[in-house]
Amino acid sequence: MEWDRSSGEGHRHKSRCGFENWDKEREKLKTILNRATMKDGKTVILTTLNNAWAAPNSVFDIFLESFEIGNDVKKLLNHLVVIALDYEAYSRCLVIHFHCYAFNSGQWEVDNNDSSGEAYFMTSDYLEMMWKRIDFLQKVLELGFNFVFTDADIMWFRDPFPKFHSDVDFHIACDYFTGDPWDLSNLPNGGFTYVKSNERTIEFYRYWYDSRMTYPGLHDQEVLDKIKNNVSLLMGVKIMFLDTRMFGGFCEPSKDFNQVCTMHANCCFGLDNKVHDLKILLDDWRNYLLRSHDLDDPSSSEPPSWNAPKNCSYYYYQIH
């Protein structure tokens, strides 16, 4: 598909997320983002949450626990903004976290689409949720904020920021990594990104969102895989793919506990399976920490390994 800078002009001032009053929402969002920024005054961490993932002992609790037991990452919770997609998720967030934003709350009672339940992979609800996310993140960039976007089924074990390059516009995790961070044939995973706010990335996210019409029925990740050459070559966005050694997942687990920053429950179908296997990841990390401090343990010389995935299935992911 040819990229035409003018192709997005007709959409620039439309509220594609469906906000009734974007001017009012923009100020509310900007206030929350400003409260959560890092020392640079413009970088935040974002995640999205619905009721299914926010329920007690579900994904969100496990996500927050990873920050608690990770290596010097608890401080990053001060910069995490939770984008709640429904009333239940927003209410739970207010109880257990500092920065909560009610996404398009004016529509919660009138929307026909219920975003509070589990959005099964590649269903219409899932696709709508993913594309709303891309549109929303473009709005965050337009407000001048850099962000790390993280799915809530990603465990944070180390601070990822030292791994990012200052001259790169767009960092993204991979389901499978070729070994070369600049290789556009890497298979990207939009569940973890670090994006700088500038004209290139704002235009890129607009183009990404609009490209859903060119590739109907595909989710955002698949569309990105099709347009990434245009983004890099025509739009000038510098893309870096993150090494699974440090940013791993169930598709391709990190093999180095001494380097791993995050682990993602990707290549996994079903909320119960995710919760089960994420709890195993936390147990594996705790065991690693215990072994690393127990020099008298004869087994400590053996490299640790992940015991997950167990319940998560590769099959459903691969056939899609």
Q: For 179-200, how does the pLDDT look when each residue is reduced to its tens digit (9 = 90+)? A: 999 999 999 999 999 999 999 9
Share the mean pLDDT of the chain.
86
Amino acid present at 282: L
Query: What mean pLDDT do residues 37-48 have?
Result: 97
Which tokens go with 246? 């440090």
CATH class of 25-293+304-319: alpha beta
Amino acid present at 258: N
How does pLDDT run across 43-83, given as a tens digit for each residue? 999 999 999 999 999 999 999 999 999 999 999 999 999 99
Query: What mean pLDDT do residues 154-172 have?
Result: 98
With beta carbons less than 8 A apart as the criterion, state whether 113 and 41 touch. Answer: no
Helix, strand, coil percentages for the chain (3-state, nearest 5): 45, 15, 40
Q: How confident is the model at residue 128 (pLDDT cuts 50, 70, 90)?
A: confident
Instruction: Give whole-number Cα distances, 151 to 36, 64, 121, 189, 303, in Å.
Output: 18, 12, 14, 10, 28
Burial class (CB in 10 A: 0-12, 13-18, 19+), 45: buried
Asked if the model's pLDDT at residue 271 lies above 50, the reply is yes
For the chain, what are the domain ranges? 25-293+304-319
Asked if the model's pLDDT at residue 94 lies above 50, the reply is yes
Asked if the model's pLDDT at residue 34 lies above 70, the reply is yes
- C-alpha span between 242 and 154 (Å, rounded): 14
Asked if the model's pLDDT at residue 90 lies above 90, the reply is yes
Instruction: Give whole-number Cα distances, 33 to 19, 74, 145, 206, in Å.
Output: 18, 18, 8, 21
pLDDT for position 4: 44
